[in-house]
Amino acid sequence: MFHYILFYKPYGVLCQFTDNDNRENPRQTLKDYINIPEIYPVGRLDYDSEGLLFLTNNGRLQHRLSHRQFAHPRTYWVQVERIPTDADLQPLRQGLVIQDYHTRPAIIRKLETEPTLYPRNPPIRYRKNVPTSWLEITLTEGRNRQVRRMTAAIGFPTLRLVRTAIALEPLTKASKSGKPITQLNLEGLTPGEWRELNPLERQQVEKLLFS
């Protein structure tokens, strides 16, 4: 039987089931929350990031959703230091060089109000007299610490990062069809909670294997 799990990963949890690098003082892992054997995350979410994680034991689906060639969008709410202008964000929309790779263009909008999120434990560290703002960033790739490196490259360090959605339809395909992108999201979950996909969601994800 294939499992399809949505998990709201809290801050400070490794995106794996064992902590092989820190055996004397082990950190929390997915095993502390999910007791289902032989399932694996689709993509990764950093130790210091929060939000939506999709896990499955369907290897074909895992490859289909995680490999950058299929360009499945992932959406994040990102709190940054200071308040960027549209001109500041333009390099991210165009793609920029970070270390040895050129990022794909990102979809970015500034959030007018702070999003409703559960408090982070521990809270972020603010700098006195330095304002913060929130962005919604959608990527079609998931390189190591990519969002943090992107905002740092334009001078707006990331303070908090929450993945809110994983799209099941590639952005290019969706834009041509004009249909809304079908997404998995955090709705109904609190940090540390998980659930199996409902029958309709299972049908939607399994369609990917035949597209």
The pLDDT tens digits of the residues spanning 1-18 come to 899 999 999 999 999 998
Domain that holds residue 10: 4-210
Q: Report yes or no on whether pTM surpasses 0.85.
A: yes
Catalytic-residue membership of 19: no
The pLDDT tens digits of the residues spanning 113-136 come to 999 999 999 998 888 889 999 999
Q: Pick the catalytic residue: 19, 21, 32, 46?
A: 46
Here the CATH number for the domain that contains residue 159 is: 3.30.2350.10
Length of the chain: 211
Segments of the chain scoring below 70 in pLDDT: 23, 171-181, 211
Q: Specify the number of domains making up the chain.
A: 1
